[in-house]
Amino acid sequence: MRDERLPPGSVQYGSGMSELALARYGEVERDRILERLFDWLRIPSISAAPEHAADVRSSAEFCLSLLRAAGLENAAVLETGGGPAVYADWLHAGPERPTVLVYGPHDVQPVDPLEDWTSPPFEPVIVDGECRARGAIDDKGQSLYQIEAARGLLLQHGELPVNLKLLIEGEEEVGSPNFERLLRSEADRLACDVVVVSDTGMIAPEVPSTTVGMRGLVAFDVSLRTASIDLHSGMWGGAVPNAALETARLAAALHDQQGRVTLEGFYDRVRGLSSTEKASLDAQPFDEVEFRRTAGGVPYLTGESGYTALERIGVRPTAEVVGLHSGYGGPGIKTIVPSTGSFKVAFRLVPDQRPDEVEAAFSTWLARHVPAGIEVTVTPEGGVAPALTPIDHPCMGALVRTIESVWGRSPLFTREGGSGPEEALGRVLDAPVLFLGVGLPGDRIHAPNERMVMDQFWKGLLAAGELLIELGGDKDGR
């Protein structure tokens, strides 16, 4: 591999003031950047699979080499006890300039069902302007354009417009179990004025948008036992409780007729939308037919009455039964009354709901809904609080100008329905969180044939550079 550590400031890609700072860099370095992208995507860093632990580590080491090659300093693998994170910085912009921490993950989701992929998930290809591979958009591609933006600016100018720190996590796809502890133990190293998260998407290239919030998550496994053994359905059925039926009843009782979650006080802390956010949400294009098609052809939409589909998936909390099991599922029939049943439920939370309060409300709810005498075991499966960046925060202006300059239109503000470690980043580091993400609704994240639209990747590179310049505060000064 040739040495990529050219002396800082030694390359002038020459961009006029009207041009985007990294436009030429993206053109000249195109092939090398693609090569790096492909090399990284070839590493099967599946954090959920213990047999891929060594690959997650290889991915971290590969990321480390990228950060070093970018001219960043203090590059280090940060051990977490799980998948390792990677850190590097460049801190010579002076104390009067802000310190920006850029966050993205390098681990990926499992790939099954493998037979649904049109090309192998860890052999990236570019087809019709899309890069297809597991991790292409979620999130190696998005982490890479951030690293390349730093490299490009350093090569051109020998310096950055801000003090920059990059933190690339290695267990985001399994719910970041050690992330908050890492943030706390590395609080000094990670201290910053603003966080830039590069792990989200936008509505469409012609309808650019930025996420201002993410839902939180709290999940449980619930197991029921009605008897010590399964019973003969002819000899006992009709006279004894059926665990399959009780499990189904319990799961069904999570919602009322209006689609509202039946936990007591569940909606008490849900914050209303500001008029700006409501207007932005209403301005989002929504085509129900297309939405249902993208959702795997669901026959109709459902959910909490009185709210639009976009509101239901972004600004309203939900309870989703993610799995339900009981009794016999093999071929043919087995004439039993099942004695055990279980279901898993994931609550998506919105500001200002709190995972611990929802957990308490859920155990009260279970006590009320499970018939007396039925044995119930609840296993908490982790929780993340929701996150929201106020639209009127000053640093939001820098992001809005960045998106305008790269995509040619002012962004709409959206909320991400998913959950992530962003809340912990903002809370522990006590900094506002900006979301610069180029993913698109059709990117099939977590699914077979994940893709990244390459035009969005190159725009991401430009935007990452512009955002640092905007945050540095002297757009025309260098």
CA distance 64 to 296: 38
Pair 328, 334: CB distance under 8 Å: yes
Q: Which stretch binds Zn ion (CB under 5 A): 131-139, 144-152, 287-295, 332-340?
A: 131-139
Q: Nearest residue to Zn ion, using CB?
A: 138
**Cβ 386 to Zn ion, closest distance in Å?**
17
Pair 469, 158: CB distance under 8 Å: no
**Cβ 28 to Zn ion, closest distance in Å?**
31
> Closest CB to Zn ion among 162 and 453?
453
SS3 of residue 119 by DSSP: coil
Q: Give the CA count within 13 Å in the CB-facing half-sphere of 69.
A: 16
> Closest CB to Zn ion among 73 and 116?
116
> Closest CB to Zn ion among 138 and 148?
138
CA distance 192 to 82: 24
CA distance 380 to 180: 18
- Bridge-partner residues for 204, per DSSP? 207
> Closest CB to Zn ion among 130 and 138?
138
Q: Which stretch binds Zn ion (CB under 5 A): 132-140, 144-152, 213-221, 265-273?
A: 132-140
> Closest CB to Zn ion among 99 and 200?
200
CA distance 423 to 8: 35
Q: How far apart are the first and last CA of the chain?
A: 32
> Closest CB to Zn ion among 314 and 420?
420
> Closest CB to Zn ion among 139 and 466?
139
> What is the length of the chain?
478
Q: Which stretch binds Zn ion (CB under 5 A): 96-104, 134-142, 150-158, 369-377?
A: 134-142
Task: Select from 138, 148, 186, 246 the one that contacts Zn ion (CB under 5 A).
Answer: 138
Q: Give the residue among 13, 12, 20 at the shortest CA–CA distance from 459.
A: 20
Q: Which stretch binds Zn ion (CB under 5 A): 126-134, 137-145, 180-188, 264-272?
A: 137-145
Q: Which stretch binds Zn ion (CB under 5 A): 130-138, 228-236, 248-256, 260-268?
A: 130-138
Mapping DSSP onto H, E and C, the string for 375-388 reads EEEEEEEEEECCEE
**Cβ 34 to Zn ion, closest distance in Å?**
22
29 binds Zn ion (CB under 5 A): no
Note the residues at the interface with Zn ion (CB under 5 A).
Answer: 138
